[in-house]
Amino acid sequence: MQRALVEVLLLGILGGVVGVHVLLRRMAFLTEALQHTVFPGIAVAFVAGESLLLGAIAAAAVTVALLNVMTDGLRIEHDAALAVLIAGSFALGVVVVSRRTGYTADLSQLLFGRILDVDVRQIVETAVIAAAALVVVAVLHRQFVLLAFDRAQAEALGIRVALLDLVLNAVVAASVVVAVRAVGTVLVVAFVVTPAASARLLGRSVGATIAIAVALACMLGWIGLGASFEASVHHGVRLAAGATVVVAFSLGFCVIGAVTWLARIGSRRDAAREVPA
Amino acid sequence: MSNVVNSFGSPFFQRAAVEAVLVGALAGVVGVHVLLRRLPFFVVAMSHATFPGVVLASVLGISLFAGGTGFGLVVVLAIVGLGSVRALDDSSAIGVVLAGSFAVGVLVLSSQPGGSRDLSAFLVGQILTVTTADIATTAVVGVVLLAVLAGLHKELVQGAFDPEGLRALGYAGRALDLVVLVVITVALVTAVPAVGTLLAVALLTVPALAARQWVEGVGPMMVLAAAIGAGCGVVGLCLSAAWDVAAGGAISLTAAAVFLVSALLRSPGSPLSRRVRPASVPG
């Protein structure tokens, strides 16, 4: 439980920071695609008995490379190329795993992760990769933000746009890879997108948004994990830990969304009252 | 390959083949609209978002199709509503909704005993166990969806290329957008029993994309996409029987292979390359 909490907090920090950049660049679909494309890598590593982390890293690298080839070389639209990659790689993963007997249990373990089973080594790996990703994002923060808001100016200032794109893709890929083992291949996108989207409703600047996203991810992650643990241990209701955390994120988003919406309606009404027609 | 020959005779395989052809053809046609409107991410999202509906339906013992469709419609409205919030673009809205609803599905399922087996069936489908009733549902739904698409064909195509012009002509542009989203959602849910929620995405995007490598008009593209979808269904089933792998996976991989070959053959620099890059076909 304590180890799971540490893992959730690490992923929350990483997801919050990276997520804001993902939303600024409208890369939610890429994140979603990566979480599916690392699946065959993990499946192959699982069947071969290799490290799941290695399999995931290899698959993520192949995805980014293939995406580049398809959009630049074959001139296929970015979103269509991602759809093909998702479909193909997920199918490959299913086929690989289905060759093994008793595959459904393995499959759901890979798909939904086992956050309660994390060991110290996994936490250390997560911490190292998260720290590296965060350092990269912190150092390149200004360039990333400029690129997101004004690509033409970034090019004019002599920033190497293509290289920065590649670096950001790599950071997103690294985040997906570390999160996959804990929360499974289908819920990763929530760690990256949902807290950041909630924070965007509140934050006025990029820095503030990142801070809010990290705070939300950690707080809601802790609440979700606690709720799942409480329900499973004391009330006999089995709630999958990763899914409970994600549901907590989503509820947080709903609450923040409702509050900001009501606030906006309220301020509009005040404004209407102050200026008589 | 003797496995394949043997399995042709079995009623399971015959039913599966009929279902694969129906789903493949329907998804191919609908997939052209997905590409025209740049909706692949929406399809991926809906594949996750209809999942809790399917889970709830199976827990409550009602039809999976009804559950998935009902929940899917709610999610479509949520995405359209969230997408109109100023601070969120469409893709963020889709991301938030898909992650949340999928988690709800997993949560409901995890509280049921013996959940993981059912879960995999939803995710990867069980085409070999389709019943005659499933096939009838697919056929009826398919005919209705195709009738809607055919009836509104001109308006829908113009809506994809020139939404402003459509509105200027006095059409309800938003309502037409919603029609497309609903048609896609229903097609997706129809494909679920055969290939599962995640692989239905493959059938709704890949055959249409492969067809677009060869033809330029919207009509011919739909015909070719339907043929590719149906063909991949049958070939994938045979491969699955021959090598004893999951059917949904084999069908999707076949589709991906067809796309890959099409894209390579038609890529700039290959002998079969198209003369001029079609500038008239966005998205």
Chain A residues near residue B202 by CB distance under 8 angstroms: 86-88, 90-91
Max mean pLDDT among A56-70, A87-101, B264-278 falls in: A56-70
To the nearest 10 degrees (0 to 180), the angle between helices A120-139 and A2-24 is 30
In A, residues 8-67, which contact B (CB 8 Å cutoff)?
Answer: 23, 26-29, 31-33, 36
Residues A71-83: tens digit of each pLDDT: 776 677 777 788 8
Mean pLDDT of A176-183: 77
Residues A205-222: tens digit of each pLDDT: 888 888 888 888 888 888
Nearest to A130 by CA among A191, A175, A182: A175
A95 DSSP 8-state letter: H
> CA B26, B27, B28, B29: dihedral to nearest 10 degrees?
60
ipTM: 0.71
Chain B residues near residue A98 by CB distance under 8 angstroms: 124, 245-246, 249
User: Mind telling me how many Å the CA of A262 is from chain B's nearest CA?
Assistant: 13
Nearest CB among B41, B98, B246 relative to A94 is that of B246
Is residue A22 within 8 A of residue A196, CB to CB? The reply is: yes
Chain B residues near residue A103 by CB distance under 8 angstroms: 120
d(CA B27, CA B22): 9
Q: Is the pLDDT of residue B2 over 60?
A: no
d(CA B74, CA B100): 13
In A, residues 70-109, which contact B (CB 8 Å cutoff)?
Answer: 70, 73-77, 79-80, 82-84, 86-88, 90-95, 98-99, 103-105, 107-108
Residues B223-261: tens digit of each pLDDT: 888 888 888 888 888 887 777 777 777 888 888 888 888
Letter for the amino acid at B145?
A: L
3-state secondary structure of A76: coil
d(CA A35, CA A109): 15
Q: Is the pLDDT of residue B23 over 80?
A: yes
Banded pLDDT at B280 (limits 50, 70, 90): very low
A100 DSSP 8-state letter: S
Q: Is the pLDDT of residue A139 over 70?
A: yes
Is residue A32 within 8 A of residue B47, CB to CB? The reply is: no
Sign of CA dihedral B214, B215, B220, B222: positive
Nearest CB among A70, A105, A193 relative to B116 is that of A105
d(CA B278, CA B144): 32
Residues A8-27: tens digit of each pLDDT: 888 888 888 888 888 877 77
Taking an 8 Å cut-off on Cβ atoms, the answer to whether B103 and A243 are in contact is yes
* Residue for token pair 């947080």: A252
Show contacts of B3-11: CB within 8 Å, 24+ apart: B3/B241, B3/B242, B3/B244, B4/B238, B4/B241, B4/B242, B7/B241
d(CA A193, CA A19): 5
Burial class (CB in 10 A: 0-12, 13-18, 19+), B106: buried
b/e per residue A254-273 (b: at least 16 CB within 10 A): eebbeeeeeeeeeeeeeeee
Banded pLDDT at A133 (limits 50, 70, 90): confident
Mean pLDDT of chain A: 77
Max mean pLDDT among A261-270, B85-94, B200-209 falls in: B200-209
Q: Is the pLDDT of residue A93 over 80?
A: no
User: What's the pLDDT at B270?
Assistant: 59
Sign of CA dihedral A21, A23, A25, A30: positive
User: What's the pLDDT at B277?
Assistant: 47
